Structure 1
Amino acid sequence: MQAWRVHENGEPSEVMRLEETERPVPGEHQVLLKVRAANINFPDALLCRGQYQVRPPLPFTPGVEICGETGDGRRVIANPALPHGGFAEYVVADAAAVLPAPDALDDAEAAALHIGYQTGWFGLHRRARLEAGETLLVHAAAGGVGSAAVQLGKAAGATVIGVVGGPAKAATARELGCDTVIDRHAEDVVAAVKEATRGRGADVVYDPVGGTAYTQSTKVVAFEGRIVVVGFAGGTVPAPALNHALVKNYGILGLHWGLYATRNPKLVQHCHEQLTGLAARGAIRPLVSERVPLAAAADAVQRVADGTTTGRIAVLPAENGATA
C-alpha cells in the first residue's frame, strides 16, 4: 500500500515521503480500516516537526483523524493508532474507540467531525457551560477548529463573534454564521469586541491560537466570563496573569480532549451521539475547503502548518487510483 512516512523531523513538505509499505497489522483489541478520507489537523504538522505531545517512533505516518471502512463494510470514524497514521491507504485503530460515521455527512465531512467538533463540544458545553443568549468569541473562526466552534455556538443559541485574519477568511466566517466578524489585520480586536458587545465583553472566549489572541481575550472577557484554552496555533504559549483573572472575575479553562478517551470514554460516545444528531438536522456540517488525492498530502499539511487554509482539507486515498 501507499503511505506518507516521516523518517526525520522537520517541516512537513520537506520530511514527508510517499512510499510503498506493508499494511499495518492490528494488535490486540485493534481493527484494520481502509481509509476513505483523512482529515488534516494542525497536530499533524507538529508531529512532523517533533513538537507534539505524542512522539511516535521514526519512521511514522502522520494523520490523526479518518473516515474509514471496516472489513465488513461499515463506514466509521476513528483516530488511527500511531505510528500508522491516516495519510495512507490502510490504518489500524483501537476497536473500542471506533465510532459510526454519520449518514448525513460524506466521507470527507465525516473525517473532519471527530477531533475539532468533539473539542468544540467539550470546550463549550462541558468546560464553559455555554448558555443560549450568551456571547461567544471565537479566535481563528475560519479555521478547522474555529469553524467547528462557530457552528456549535450558533446551534447552542449563542451570539457568535469571529476573529479572523484577512478578507477571504472574513467572508468564510460570515458564511459559517458569525453574527459579527472582526479582521484582526484591519481592525483593533479589543475595540471591535467592546463595540459589538456594548462594552460588556464576551461570556465565553474559545482560543486555539494563544499568544496575542489570549492577551486580547483577557481584555474583552465579560464579568464571570470563561476563556477556554484549546491550543497554541500561533506558536506562543501565554503566561496568564492570575491577579488579572482575580480582579476581573473570569475563569481560565484548559481543555485536553484526548484525556476523556481514557478518563471518561462514555462522555466521548455521548458527545458523538450529540454531534450526529446536530449533523442530521443540519445544524453543523464540517467546512471542507479542499479534497485532495493522497499524492498531494504533504503540500496540504504544509499549508495547514503555515496557517493559509480555511476550514479543513481532506485527503482521499481512493482518488489516486492506487490499490492495496
Structure 2
Amino acid sequence: MKAMIVRERGTLENLKLETVEDPVADAKSVVIDIKACAVNFADSLMVEGSYQVKPPLPFSPGLEVAGTVSEVGSEVSGWKVGDKVQALTNWGGFAEKIAVPAKSLCAIPAGMTYEEAASFVVAYGTSHVALGYRARLQPGEWLVVNGAGGGVGLTAVELGAIMGARVIATAGSDEKLAIAREKGAEFTLNYRTENIRDRIKEITDGKGANVVYDPVGGDVFRQSFRAMAPEGRMIVIGFASGDIPQVPANHLLVKNIELIGFYWGAYKQFKNQVLVDSAVELFDWYKKGAIKPHISATYPLEKTADAIRALRARTSAGKVIVTI
C-alpha cells in the first residue's frame, strides 16, 4: 500500500509518500480501506516530535479515519467486510489501509460521507465535552469562541448555539466570521481589527463572558480573559497562535474565575465513557440534521504535507481532509 511516512522527526519535508507492507488484522482487530483522513494540529506536532505521543519510527501520522472494513480478526464480532466505519487511531491514518482494534470503530450513519465521518468525532467531541461536561454551559449564557473559523472553533459555535448560549465568535478574517454566523454566532469580532476585551464588554452590556472557549492562546486569550464575568469559566483548548499565555493566579481570585484545561484525547485513557456518551448524542444530532461538518478543503494523499501546512497557517475554515 501507499502511505505518507516519517523516517526522521523534523519538518514536513520529512513526510514522504512510500510503498510499504499492507497491515494485517490480529484476532481482535480489523483492517480498514481508508477513504478519508482528517488533518489535525497533532499531525504537525507529531512530525516535529513535539506531540505528547511519539510513535516509533518510521510512522505515518493521521488519527481520524473513515473507510470500509476489508478484513476482520478471528475474535471480532459485530463487524463484517464492507461495513462503513469511522475510527480514531493513535497514528497511521495517512495511508491506503490501517489495522485498528475493533473496539475503536464507529458505524457511519446513513447519508454521512467519508469526508464528513473523518472530520466529525474529534472536532465535535472536543467542543461537546468541553462546553457541556467541563464548562457546564447553560442556556442564555454568553459564550465567546476564539478561533471560530478553525476546525474545533466552528463546532464550538455550532454546539454552543444548539445548547442555548448567546455566542460571540472571534476570528482573524471576515470570511471566517461569515461562516461562524451561518453556524449560529449572534455576534462576531475580527481580532485583527477590533479590541476583543472592549467589544465583549460592549456586547454584553458590561457583564462579560460566562464561558470563553480558546484554542488560540496569545493576546486573543489575554484580551478575552480580561472580559470575563464573575464566576466565568475559561476553557484552554490549545495554542494555535504558538504563544502559550501565563495567567497570574491572583487574577483568578478577583472574579472567582475557573481556568479549565481540556485535552479530549486524555479521556480515552481514564474516563472513556464520557467520550462514548458524547458520540452517541452527537451522531443523534447529525441524524436529525442539527449539525453538519464544514469541510473547507480536500487534498490527495501525496499532498498531505500541503494539507497540514494549510491547517497550521490557519488559512482554512472548518476541517481539512486528505482523501484516498
| Alignment deviations for residues 15-54 of structure 1 (CA, whole Å, 9 cap, x no partner) | 2101111112344633211112111111111111111110
Which residue of 80, 86, 108 corresponds with 1:77? 86
2:75 — aligned with what?
Answer: none
The one-letter code sitting in structure 2 at the alignment partner of 1:118 is G
Structure-1 separation of matches of 2:186 and 2:175: 17
Structure-2 separation of matches of 1:191 and 1:211: 17
Identity over aligned pairs, percent: 40
1:19 — aligned with what?
Answer: 18
Which residue of 154, 165, 176 corresponds with 2:183? 176
* Contact kept in structure 2, 1:142 and 1:173, CA below 8 Å: yes
Question: Gaps (5+ residues) in structure 2?
Answer: 71-80
Question: Gaps (5+ residues) in structure 1?
Answer: 318-324
Whether 1:55 aligns to 2:54 is: yes
Which residue of 237, 240, 245 corresponds with 1:233? 240
2:67 — aligned with what?
Answer: 68
2:312 — aligned with what?
Answer: 305
Structure-1 separation of matches of 2:200 and 2:111: 35
Query: TM-score, normalization: structure 2?
Result: 0.93
TM-aligned CA deviation for residue 217 of structure 1:
2.5
Structure-2 separation of matches of 1:301 and 1:137: 27
Structure-1 separation of matches of 2:28 and 2:241: 37
* Contact kept in structure 2, 1:34 and 1:91, CA below 8 Å: yes
* Contact kept in structure 2, 1:66 and 1:86, CA below 8 Å: yes
1:246 — aligned with what?
Answer: 253
Which residue of 105, 118, 123 corresponds with 2:130? 123
Structure-2 separation of matches of 1:274 and 1:211: 33
| Alpha-carbon RMSD | 1.4
Query: TM-score, normalization: structure 1?
Result: 0.93
2:9 — aligned with what?
Answer: 9
TM-aligned CA deviation for residue 294 of structure 1:
1.4
TM-aligned CA deviation for residue 180 of structure 1:
0.7
1:166 — aligned with what?
Answer: 173
* Contact kept in structure 2, 1:2 and 1:21, CA below 8 Å: yes
| Alignment deviations for residues 187-237 of structure 1 (CA, whole Å, 9 cap, x no partner) | 111111111111111111111112222212220111111001111111122
2:216 — aligned with what?
Answer: 209
More displaced, 220-229 or 97-106? 97-106
Structure-2 separation of matches of 1:281 and 1:134: 25
* Contact kept in structure 1, 2:301 and 2:322, CA below 8 Å: yes
Question: What are the residue-to-residue correspondences of 1:251-270 with 2, within 5 Å?
Answer: 251-270=258-277
